């Protein structure tokens, strides 16, 4: 996690998607459910063949290039040091190795993944919450998650330890949607939050957004420093910092760079 709380001390505005609380029932499902048990029906979400744990296409070294020619410059599994990307790649490579050398897959989630996120947020205690989110009451938590999945673009980090991170930008129709990121309390300070933010920014640019917005407490200097390194700029100060990430050059090129070209 970036900073001392699981939300990077992000102050979320009162947009109903982030703070909404409709009453529904809670249900459970293992967050570490193997890919083989996932729904195998076709998914028409852009890049779903890569981002929903069906990652075999980007590991192939013999996919045709944009000009119809074969190529051997594709990916080599988790060793991405020589990966220069291909026409099959999403806006940003969905594979991530954290500071401890653990492998994570970044995948989009939708309304069918409510239970996985409910279980993920069940691990959050009082010190892992900021600005009232994630909600502590069960029915409010599930309703809040359902709103995020319905009105935002959601990406999670998953691996052998299950689901450990969640980032969302919302609302989708806004040219400058707001960003919120959450990391499991046991997986802080491993770069997962930073990578989730970059994944969301690359996806937002691909969807046509002009910028991403967020709010962060001024005293959370560690989080502010991370956001600045990603490219966020302070645009207003009103009790907390309002920061904006313009989705334009050179930020976009850095975010969408293939693994071999990432610094």
pLDDT over threshold 50, residue 188: yes
pTM higher than the cut 0.75: no
> How confident is the model over 164-174, as pLDDT tens digits?
999 999 999 99
Closest CA to 113 of 203, 204, 206, 33: 33
Query: Is 16-261 in CATH node 3.40.50.920?
Result: no
DSSP run (H or E) holding 163: strand 162-170
> How confident is the model over 21-61, as pLDDT tens digits?
322 233 322 333 343 334 444 444 444 333 433 333 333 33
| CA–CA separation, 207 and 94 (whole Å) | 17
Q: Where are the beta strands (DSSP E) in 19-149?
A: 95-97, 103-109
What is the predicted pLDDT for the residue at 28? 28
Domain residue limits, the chain: 16-261
* Angle at CA of residue 169, ends 163 and 174, nearest 5°: 160
Under the banding of pLDDT at 50, 70 and 90, the label for residue 261 is confident
| CA–CA separation, 11 and 17 (whole Å) | 14
């Amino acid at each position: 996690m970036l900073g001392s709380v699981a939300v990077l001390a992000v102050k979320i505005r009162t947009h109903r998607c982030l703070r909404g609380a409709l009453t529904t029932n809670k249900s459970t499902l293992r967050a570490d459910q193997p890919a083989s048990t996932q729904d195998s029906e076709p998914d028409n979400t852009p890049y779903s063949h890569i981002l929903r744990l069906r990652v075999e296409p980007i590991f192939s070294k013999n996919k045709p290039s944009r000009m119809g020619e074969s190529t051997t410059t594709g990916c080599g599994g988790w060793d991405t040091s020589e990966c220069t990307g291909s026409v099959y790649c999403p806006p940003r490579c969905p594979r991530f190795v954290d500071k401890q050398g653990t492998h994570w897959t970044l995948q989009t989630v939708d309304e069918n993944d409510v239970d996985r996120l409910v279980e993920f947020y069940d691990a959050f205690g009082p010190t892992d919450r900021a600005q009232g989110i994630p909600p502590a009451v069960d029915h409010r938590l599930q309703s809040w998650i359902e709103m995020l999945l319905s009105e935002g673009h959601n990406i999670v980090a998953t691996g052998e330890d299950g689901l450990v991170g969640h980032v969302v930008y919302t609302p989708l129709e806004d040219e400058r949607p707001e960003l919120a990121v959450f990391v499991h309390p046991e997986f802080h300070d491993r770069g997962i939050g930073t990578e989730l933010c970059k994944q969301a920014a690359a996806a937002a640019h691909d969807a046509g957004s002009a910028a991403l917005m967020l709010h962060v407490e001024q005293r959370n200097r560690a989080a502010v420093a991370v956001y600045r390194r990603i490219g966020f700029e302070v645009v207003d100060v009103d009790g907390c910092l309002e920061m904006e990430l313009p989705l334009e050059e050179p930020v976009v090129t850095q975010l969408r760079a293939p693994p071999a070209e990432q610094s």
